[in-house]
Structure 1
Amino acid sequence: MLPLKGLSVFDFSTLLPGPLASLILAEAGADVVKIERPSSGDEMRTYHPRVGENSANFVMLNRGKRSLCADLKQPEVVERVRALLERADVLIEQFRPGVMDRLGLGFEAIHAINPRLVYCSISGWGQTGPKASVAGHDLNYLAETGILGLSAGADGAPVLPPVLAADIAGGAFPAVMNIMFALRERDRTGKGTRLDISMADNLFTFHYWSIGSGTSGGGWPKPGAELVTGGSPRYHVYKTADSRYLAAAPVEERFWQRFCQIIGLPQELRDPEVDKKAAIAEVQRRIAERTAAYWCDVFAGQDVCCSIVTTLEEAMDDPHVIARGLFDHRVKSGSVALPALPVPVAPVFRSVAEVRAAPGLGDSNQELLGTI
């Protein structure tokens, strides 16, 4: 039996953070009902590329859920949804603060009819504070928490990140973590709770080293000047002769000395107190003399923490990834099946069903509303 079998989750969220959180719960066995707008549903359904009637994005994030269409601006519909929530275990919502209250579905209103409910609110800035109602997206949260400012490119401008770190690592993952904490607390007390998940708040965890440096007197970090921002030859990306890139991270001394020996770096540039810019330049010159394939062969089995930068397509075809079965699960939309999104759920706790479907819009209306 999956660990969350029998857990009832109602997800009022759209796009990425909340849907990913409820996907993780669904993969661990929870019954997830996705509340959607009539006619259009989750905006993510309209994105491209298309997979049948839905977008690939929507399909990836909503495997194994059910869909309930509900016009929450209609009081009689809200009452029917409230009736369903009387026996729910978890509610996830992602509106701006105050919206659920105005709909009659806020924490206090639902807690009164279901005191065991775990009520999880995910937002950009949290439920309180001067920015609570300010609109934002992933890039804004990265910009205003200092992360984007440390990601400078060669021209000194911040580099646009290709991953939605705030939505996933600041929103979805902390939401699941705290939902599980709250359920464990409910086992002890019999009572649910309100969770305030702020994506911006949770991004500061990524600053563990930079906060430590700045507040301890070590100096506030600068882009391109620190160990993990490009200021060290031991943690850098170097271009190869065939215009590919080597990600080199021989940080520890034993790795660094072996790396230097392999590429033939002069002894005077190996000292950690040496001019780092000069060392970076010389490492770059030597790496640029050979192709990526050459360096891949040379570093193989040498324990020096070096990797060739791959494309996503290459990464998914990696024999290690295939051996791990990372993409063995499938998600179906109509007659099309795609690799299911890998989620951080240990295989022993994850649904064993290899193929599960993403829900059609309102596919569970009759089943769910007919029970009221």
Structure 2
Amino acid sequence: MTTALNGLKVLDFSTLLPGPFATLYLADLGAEVIHIESPTRPDLVRLMPPYSNGQAASHNYLNRNKQSVALDLKNPESIALLKSKISEYDIVVEQFRPGVMQRLGLDYESLAKIHPQLIYCSITGYGQTGHYKDRAGHDINYLALSGIAGHSGRKTGGPPPLGIQVADVAGGSLHAVIAILSAVIERSQSGLGQYIDISMTDCAVTLNNMAAAAEIAGNERQQPEHSHLNGGTFYDYYETRDGRYLAIGSLEPQFMLGLAQLLELPVVAEKGTSFTLQDRQIVKHAIKEKILSKNFSEWNELFSLHDVCVEPVLSLDEALHSKLADERGWLVAVPLQENSTKKEQQLACPIKFSRSKIRYEFIGKSLGLDFL
């Protein structure tokens, strides 16, 4: 079997998470990725604990299957070298603030004159235009400005600090991959590359999808614990007697009826579809009190036998070592180097093809000095 993106070559100037996660997908799918890094200012991902096999575990994962090359972009010789080799590459990914690559002479306009077929993707917090374009930001800022944080969490507790980077990954990284591969397909028809402007905040806004559709239609103002999916109905998390949690998502009539029967709470079936605040609170209170009556393991045993959209809230360790993780191959053993027998456990690529293979050749490498 061959990889799906075999033959594509990528120059990756990005750091930290959004760009590197995007190019990780490209590398896993078969593209040749050269990660360009500063020889004097290391990518912070290389420094972040914990460590595994003498390197940062995050670096080992995010830079899997990639070659890492040190180049001083303030050195004219490095710029000349990059320009001399740019025609060998299909894609450039960069994550600097707007204007930086232009000052270096590595912007799309400059490189497209040399290589018109080049696809060039810039990932930033706020995009290349608008008065926010030069502002610094992190995932929590993008979620705040996109409206996601504003209609999440509890009325009394405020927005939740999430344990993952939603805007960085689901916003920036994955939208970048979609855009890049779309441009590759378009290039096969036009013969030309193009520039891609990815704003993590723009992309995060689209993750509102259902809530935004209701807001724009003017039918339902989005606020915490108000709509179907943000705690306004019994679609929520419930504490068990021993301090663990269950996720209850039994929205459809057949699941709602099954939940009512299992919990011996006819009020769930009677008022579960009500739109009045009072009825919603009655249903949630009844479920809350019932779930508090048994331990986590007791509820798991019961709900594992019934298909009603109720599942345990697992810790990350429990999730990664669950039966589901094993059956679906969430973890993969990756060689430390090409053809090495020593391996490191990492998250696997979740994409599964019928013919094309996923590539797991080596973990993130130490910083190289030669740009081959």
TM-score normalised by structure 2 residue count: 0.93
Question: Match for residue 341 of structure 1?
Answer: 347
Q: Which stretch of structure 1 is more off in the superposition, 319-328 or 269-278?
A: 269-278
The 8 Å contact of residues 97 and 134 in structure 2, kept in 1 or not, is answered as: yes
The amino acid that maps onto 2:208 is H
SS in 1 for 2:98: coil
Do the aligned partners of 1:269 and 1:278 also contact (CA within 8 Å) in 2? no
AA at the equivalent of 1:345: I
Give the equivalent residue in structure 1 for 2:69.
Answer: 68
Counterpart for residue 247 of structure 2: 247
2:306 maps to 1:302: yes
CA contact (8 A) 1:41 1:361 kept: no
Deviation at 1:189, TM superposition (A): 1.1
Cα pair distance change 1:166/1:336, threshold 3 Å: farther
Residue number in structure 2 paired with 1:151: 152
| Cα deviation code 1:259-287 (max 9, x no counterpart) | 01111114487322261111111111111
Cα pair distance change 1:68/1:226, threshold 3 Å = same
CA 1:3–1:268 in 2, change beyond 3 Å: closer, same or farther? closer
Contact 2:27 2:359 in 1 (8 A): no
Change (3 A) 1:250 1:318: same
Q: Residue in 2 aligned with 1:315?
A: 319
Q: What is the CA–CA distance in structure 2 between the aligned matches of 1:288 and 1:149, rounded to whole Å?
A: 29
**Stretch moving more, 54-63 or 212-221:** 212-221
The equivalent residue for 2:285 is 281
Per-residue CA deviation, residues 298-355 of structure 1 (Å, 9 max, x unaligned), is 11231100011111111111112112222134253799743223334324434354x5
Which amino acid letter does the alignment assign opposite residue 262 of structure 2? I
Distance 1:176 1:216 in 2: 30
Contact 1:331 1:340 in 2 (8 A): no
Q: Is contact 2:332–2:347 with CA below 8 Å preserved after alignment?
A: no
Label 1:352 to 1:43 Cα distance change in 2 as closer, same or farther (>3 A). closer
Tell whether the 8 Å contact from 2:332 to 2:348 is kept in structure 1 after alignment.
Answer: no
User: What is the letter of the counterpart of residue 306 of structure 1?
Assistant: V
Change (3 A) 1:6 1:223: same
Equivalent residue for 1:327? Answer: 331
Over residues 285-304 of structure 1, what are the superposed CA-to-partner deviations in whole Å (9 max), with x where a residue is unaligned?
11100111111111123110
Partner amino acid for 1:92? V
Q: How does 1:150-189 map to 2 (within 5 A)?
A: 150-153=151-154, 155-189=156-190
1:84 counterpart letter in structure 2: K
Of 165-174 and 145-154, the range deviating more from structure 2:
145-154
Superposed CA offset, 1:164-220 (max 9, x none): 011101111011111111011111111100001111001111212222212212121
Between the aligned partners of 1:100 and 1:268, the Cα distance in structure 2 is 58
1:26 equivalenced with 2:19 (yes/no):
no
SS at match of 1:130: coil
- Measure, in 1, the Cα distance between the counterparts of 2:302 and 2:270: 19
Counterpart of 2:261 in structure 1 is: 261
Q: 1:39 to 1:51 in 2, by over 3 A?
A: farther
Q: Is the 8 A contact 1:63 1:331 kept in 2?
A: no
Q: Is the 8 A contact 2:61 2:363 kept in 1?
A: no
One-letter amino acid of the structure 1 residue matched with residue 347 of structure 2: L
Give runs of aligned pairs for residues 180-259 of structure 1, distance below 5 A: 180-233=181-234, 235-259=235-259
Q: What letter matches 2:356 in structure 1?
A: F
Shift in Å, 1:53: 3.9
Q: Secondary structure at the match of 2:242?
A: coil
How many corresponding residue pairs? 364
Identity among equivalent positions (%) equals 36
Give distance in 1, aligned partners of 2:129 and 2:260.
52
Cα pair distance change 1:268/1:110, threshold 3 Å: closer
Assess if the C-alpha contact under 8 Å between 2:18 and 2:169 holds in 1: yes
Alignment of 1:123 with 2:109, yes or no, is no
Equivalent position of 1:361 in the other structure? 367
Offset, 1:40: 4.1
Q: 1:290, 1:196 → 2: CA distance?
A: 51
CA shift at 1:46, angstroms? Answer: 0.8
Cα 1:88–1:320, aligned 2, differ >3 Å: closer, same or farther?
same
- Quote the Cα distance in structure 2 between the aligned partners of 1:37 and 1:366: 13
Structure 2 residue runs without a partner (length 5+): none
Q: Deviations along 1:8-65, whole A, 9 cap, x unmatched?
A: 1000000001101111111111110000001443221011112244211111100010
Q: 1:351 aligns with which of 346, 355, 358?
A: 358
**Hey, what's the Cα distance between the residues in 2 that align with 1:24 and 1:352?**
10
Secondary structure at the residue paired with 2:11? strand
Higher mean alpha-carbon deviation, 154-163 vs 108-117, is at 154-163
Q: Is the 8 A contact 1:21 1:173 kept in 2?
A: yes
Deviates more, 1:48-57 or 1:117-126: 48-57
Q: Is the 8 A contact 1:29 1:351 kept in 2?
A: yes
